[in-house]
Structure 1
């Protein structure tokens, strides 16, 4: 999407939501949800070239979503989401595209078209305890893709089993590729205390990937594990990795740890979350990353997240 067009859309959405929400809602014929997540952290970093401090926007975003009931038990739905940088970038560079799609939902499942996270990316659920921060699994593993030209199908749940498939159309002479997952349980650990998933990418962004993960909640503990094999199509380079994550709720605090590895590369993170309200939390984290033939990197951060 053109950046100037995206910026214009955001300004209009913000104006409509802030000044004329009822009118905007009526124009869409159904109530809609305007939402966002604003996440900023002040970080002290050492990335191999000396220490420095930095204010970082961690995948902050704004979006609008909604649905409309149709005939024959069908529902149409849409989602438009943009990433905003609250710290470094300004002007047109401040806005980038995230998930943006339209689809249909029925008793046969749901199908959506547009730009969207692949089935393998969505399969991680909440296993990544440091998502969007320096300890995010995307900083060590491949597979965190959000391509355009996608068609995604998600089946109904059958005895807590669910299939998700993403077809990515090839552009010009490029090959069509796919991503798929089969999940068992509840990724949010709300209706069920467990979640198991197996996922596969076939030449998505130049990689074949197999991912196996699971998470379990027992009282105040949440523990998770994930294994990944990734092979680069261009030269056949293959690497294996694994991840362990945990979170423990102690009164109002949530204490978190995560270790991730890919052959000789590794990342270790520890952190704590403190909710100020249902939608607002303070957090702190410490991450160390060690990659072969690259300087070791360390980050210490204190941040604030506001959801609406």
Structure 2
């Protein structure tokens, strides 16, 4: 009886309360990719066809009005495996915060850095081939950070467009840098030992931005979408706290043509707040030797999209990107180059089919690994 009374009271309170229902949203993107293996001498080559999940996710978000100016905001996203190859519910952006109509938004949680957010305006092949064919595959700076406080300014109106300022302060919480399931940890104890900030100008014709990362966990040895089990140039993963500056620009011309560019440079942050998590002394020593041998990494991108004026559902596009990681102790530079061409067909705002072909080259000294890819996919947003 007491249980029934308690349930009745709870239902009555819920029925009498007013709150904004959360919005359920997400994206499912899957492709079929042909990725032949080209292995070094002594190993056999083979044809490979893979089904890829390309940044598929689900999420909940909400905005609860508190006063005329102030709202509570929240969002939580989980990655999902459209091809079933990996575990669902990996970490994506999630936060709770307050939004003031005049002062901006303050969030607490895990979030893409402002520097990473810049690439969405210019990376034409973002998320392709299981997220390995975009700038994430070969460049530093594409990071989501845990334990962060984020500020997003309101849009500042100018005669021809708007300016926005974004900033992220991270706390390492007395741990070393580490790559997690969708989100990375920075090092240090204090809030702001690692940080990221950006300034973006946005107008119908021009988008331009500049951003800086300080001691943000990044990978300096990306291998792109190389599929070989024994490539001549392996690439791989070498995490370090990176200081990165990135600049982007996009010009939307009359007639449906958009031109895009990105340039960035990164170096390793060498402070007591930039250690890795493993406590094994041998692992620490090997890692320190590897990152201290890095001189810098420089990457750039040029791309174009053309929405056909006489067939608005069709968009053709092309992109070239390159990244060079230089070393100090007579180690040959690691150079990654990738070129892509493709076409999209938009059935509507939610559903898009696409096809593409690409080529990646990794070079280090006299060694060279080449990786072609041809694929087609379907994207559904809800």
Unpaired segments ≥5 residues, structure 1:
1-23, 187-191
Q: 2: CA distance between counterparts of 1:178 and 1:28?
A: 38
Q: TM-score, normalised by structure 2?
A: 0.69
Which is greater in Rg? 2
Cα distance per residue 1:56-113 (max 9 Å; x no partner): 11111001111000125111111110010021336xx222111111111111111111
Is 1:262–2:257 an aligned residue pair? Answer: no
Partner of 1:40: 30
Partner of 1:213: 248
Partner of 1:247: 305
Deviation of 1:157 after TM superposition, in Å, equals 2.0
Pick one of 76, 93, 102 that aligns with 1:99.
Answer: 93
Deviation of 1:277 after TM superposition, in Å, equals 2.4
Q: 2: CA distance between counterparts of 1:36 and 1:125?
A: 17
Secondary structure in 2 matching 1:295: strand
Contact 1:25 1:31 in 2 (8 A): no
Comparing both structures, which one devotes a greater share of its residues to strand? 1
Partner of 1:181: 198
Deviation of 1:147 after TM superposition, in Å, equals 1.1
Pick one of 121, 125, 130 that aligns with 2:120.
Answer: 125
Partner of 1:168: 170
Contact 1:47 1:295 in 2 (8 A): no
Contact 2:78 2:88 in 1 (8 A): no
Contact 1:39 1:57 in 2 (8 A): yes
Contact 1:25 1:32 in 2 (8 A): no
Q: 2: CA distance between counterparts of 1:210 and 1:130?
A: 22
Deviation of 1:25 after TM superposition, in Å, equals 11
Q: TM-score, normalised by structure 1?
A: 0.85
Cα distance per residue 1:149-200 (max 9 Å; x no partner): 01111112222121111101122153220001111114xxxxx221000011
Partner of 1:238: 296
CA distance 1:86–1:213, change in 2 (3 Å): same
Unpaired segments ≥5 residues, structure 2:
1-13, 40-45, 176-186, 218-240, 270-290, 325-334
Is 1:301–2:297 an aligned residue pair? Answer: no
Secondary structure in 2 matching 1:125: helix
Contact 1:226 1:243 in 2 (8 A): yes
Deviation of 1:116 after TM superposition, in Å, equals 0.5
Q: 1: CA distance between counterparts of 2:173 and 2:109?
A: 14
> What aligned pairs does 1:42-121 form with structure 2 within 5 A after superposition?
42-49=32-39, 50-71=46-67, 73-89=69-85, 93-106=87-100, 107-121=102-116
CA distance 1:297–1:88, change in 2 (3 Å): farther
Misfit runs of 4+, over 4 Å: 24-28
Deviation of 1:26 after TM superposition, in Å, equals 9.8
Deviation of 1:247 after TM superposition, in Å, equals 0.2
Q: 170-179 or 31-40, which moves further after superposition?
A: 170-179
CA distance 1:282–1:169, change in 2 (3 Å): same
Q: 1: CA distance between counterparts of 2:120 and 2:17?
A: 34
